[in-house]
Structure 1
Amino acid sequence: MTFNDNARINPGKVSRRGRNTGIAVGGGGSLLVIGLIIASQVLGVDLTGLVGGGTTGGGGQEQGQPLSECTTGEAANNSINCRIAAAADSLDTYWESELPTLGQTYRTTNVVLFSGQTNTGCGGATSATGPFYCPADERIYVDTAFYDDLRSRFGSSGGPLAEMYVIAHEWGHHIQNSTGIMEGLDRQTTGPSSDSVRLELQADCFAGAWVGAASTIKNDDGVVFLDPVTEAQIADALSAASAVGDDRIQQSTQGQVTPESWTHGSSEKRQQWFMTGLNGGPGACNTFEVATP
């Protein structure tokens, strides 16, 4: 997707941190598990061993620096950091108006860009963790080097919408957390119909809902953030969703597919629910009401 060059962007939802060499690993309990399970499946590496031991992860978080250079759509079209800032501004605007129509109250979130490693409310995170949402501090964490891996390691076609899909998916997790959808779920079980998979597919659906409305969302000046999405851009987003499907990751890392261990859903289902949201909006995203999501 392409931002309107003349659109004014509020970059206040995104901050940037430098390299932190004194991270605290561990703590966060089940909250850390959410992010690490997500990362483990995306990267094909078991990171859940970070849970337990070490110091608690909630303290000592470094302050991020604002992205003061990211104030226009033109900047967003030329810089990945600014593109994330602009996407966050659009996502915040969208959910602030959309959630009340669904009978919910919106609570905002923030995106932290980091390089190498950082502290979070869920414990320590490194670039190997991949993008994740931390319920403990209600923030999204992204090392943008992940986008290179998405193309080179996981085979996504890349592109701006593929990058923004990742942010929109994690924002979807914030919607789930802040509205109580995460409460009472059994995130210990796995498999195509598990609560973990339903949670991830719903986040994909929420991401699609934002994309479907994106070209109508206006900034505080009444100017639309984004130009209409093209079929090629949707294909890029679907490529990213497919690239991080459980079956595709397992096939590439293990040489076989074991559906009983899935936590995110198949490539086909991730694409399907993204399109469900794009065409039907967030009201069509109740993955917990269908027998097989």
Structure 2
Amino acid sequence: MRFNPRARLDTSRVRDAGGGGRTSLGRAGSRRGGVGLGLLASVFLRVGWKGRIAIALAAVLLLTVATCGGPDLLGLRGQTAYSPGRMADADTGDRYAHCRTGADANADPDCARVAVENSLTDYWADELGGDFRPISSLTTFTGGVTTQCGTATTAVGPFYCPADLGIYLDTTFFDDVLERELGGPDGGFVEFYVLAHEYGHHVSNLLGYLGRVRSQDTGPQSQTTRLELQADCYAGMWAHHATTTEDASGQPLVLDLTRRDVDLALEAAAAVGDDHIQQQTRGQTNPETWNHGSSAQRMRWFTVGYEQGSLRACDTFAADRV
């Protein structure tokens, strides 16, 4: 993926919480849930990555419905919480201060992250029109972070919090978990697929799909699985249209998105399939406990979004089978 060197980057929604992850004051009044990419681990257990993944896949059956709408997938408990209205309180440092142009995005992965957020925001603003509202923030962190969905550690993996409309990304996830533990691919577009997936959860939230998921049913055809596959489909939609997105002045943001980029997204989707994670951690699979979809399902729905590029095609809740 290559960015337009002349494009101007908007860093207003991108923040870094640092290693401590404390982003604001206040109390989350109830237990809330976030929607994550695929590693649904208990945030209180200090065991190895594979242990956390295996425990999470079993424990998901015990989780309750989130009060904020949508499934309580992460099992987070309300603690000191981040308030999107108090951005100045965030421990942001200057991680993204140098990210000004597409040339910076081509040279620096932090700036590339900003450019992708800008591209996602521009695309979905055009696609949804009056139904659109941007995410409150994309917050990077290491070790742990507090949100209005509760407190999360690295074990959770990337996730979207519908309570504060924020996306949270531990930047160690891709090397430490996706690549080393799950055998996933290594490459720049892998992270972009993940960000597009989490932004897809935001779109599902805006369109009311997330609110439909009222029970913690599991399995290949469950509501929770359909929600996750819809986010994969929305990620494919953005990938299809990424080269049409623009900065505030009308300059193209993305000059090209290659077949290799798409292949990396598909490899990443396969690596976080429920069957692949179970095989890696348990040596066997149990479809009745799936809540994100198999590798084949995740690859298929990203492809549907990429090839058909429409909201109607990505309505996984209307499909007879996913």
Please say whether Structure 1 and Structure 2 have the same fold, judged by a TM-score greater than 0.5: yes
1:117-162 Cα offsets, whole Å, 9 max, x none, are: 1211111111121100011111000011111122222222221211
Given candidates 256, 260, 270, the residue that maps to 2:284 is 256
Aligned to 2:295: 267
Query: Structure 1 unaligned runs (5+)?
Result: none
1:208 match: secondary structure: helix
2:104 aligns with 75
- Aligned counterparts, 1:86-101, within 5 A: 86-100=115-129
Name 2:70's counterpart in structure 1.
none
- Counterpart CA distance in 2 for 1:251 and 1:138 is 33
1:32 maps to 33
Letter in 2 for 1:20: G
Q: Give the CA deviation at 1:275.
A: 0.9
CA RMSD of aligned residues (A): 2.7
For residues 76-96 of structure 1, the C-alpha deviation after alignment (integer angstroms, 9 at most, x for no partner) is 122222111110011001111
Q: Which one-letter code corresponds to 1:191 in the other structure?
A: G
Q: Is residue 2:24 matched to residue 1:3?
A: no
Give secondary structure in 2 for the equivalent of 1:215. Answer: helix
**Equivalent residue pairs, number:** 288
Indicate conservation of the 8 Å contact 1:35/1:133, yes or no. Answer: yes
State the secondary structure of the residue aligned to 1:141.
strand
One-letter amino acid matched to 1:210: W
Query: Relative to structure 2, which stretch is displaced further, 140-149 or 62-71?
Result: 62-71
1:27 positional shift: 6.2
Give the Cα separation in 2 of the matches to 1:146 and 1:17: 15
Secondary structure at 2:210 match in 1:
coil
Alignment counterpart, residue 46 of structure 1, candidates 44, 55, 66: 55
Contact between 2:38 and 2:292, CA under 8 Å: does it hold in 1? no
Whether contact under 8 Å (1:28, 1:57) holds in the other structure is no
> Is the alpha carbon distance of 1:37 and 1:166 closer, same or farther for their aligned partners in structure 2, counting shifts above 3 Å?
closer
Tell me whether 1:238 sits opposite 2:239 in the alignment. Answer: no
* Structure 1 contact 39–131 (Cα < 8 Å) conserved: no
Residue of structure 2 aligned with 1:58, choices 81, 98, 102: 81
2:158 maps to which of 104, 119, 131: 131
Q: Name 1:19's counterpart in structure 2.
A: 19
Q: 1:98 to 1:143 in 2, by over 3 A?
A: same
2:148 counterpart of 1:147: no
Residue aligning to 1:289 = 318
Which amino acid counterpart does residue 105 of structure 1 have in structure 2?
D
**What code does the residue aligned with 1:40 have?**
A
Q: 1:246, 1:266 within 8 Å by CA — same for their partners in 2? A: yes
CA distance in 2, matches of 1:183, 1:84: 28
Is the deviation greater in 283-292 or in 69-78? 69-78
Is the partner of 1:227 in helix, strand or coil? strand
Separation in structure 2 between the aligned mates of residue 84 and residue 181 of structure 1, nearest angstrom: 26
Contact 1:38 1:132 in 2 (8 A): no
Once the two structures are superposed, what CA deviation does each residue of 1:158-181 show, in whole Å capped at 9, x if it has no partner? 212111000000001011112211
Displacement of 1:31 in angstroms is 3.0
Identity %: 39
* Structure 2: gaps of 5 or more residues: 43-49, 64-73
Given the alignment of the two structures, is residue 184 of structure 1 paired with residue 185 of structure 2, yes or no?
no
Give the TM-score, by structure 2 length.
0.81
Equivalent residue number for residue 160 of structure 1? 188
CA distance in 1, matches of 2:29, 2:254: 37
**Partners in 2 of 1:105 and 1:18 — Cα distance?**
33
* Deviation for aligned residue 1:30: 6.0
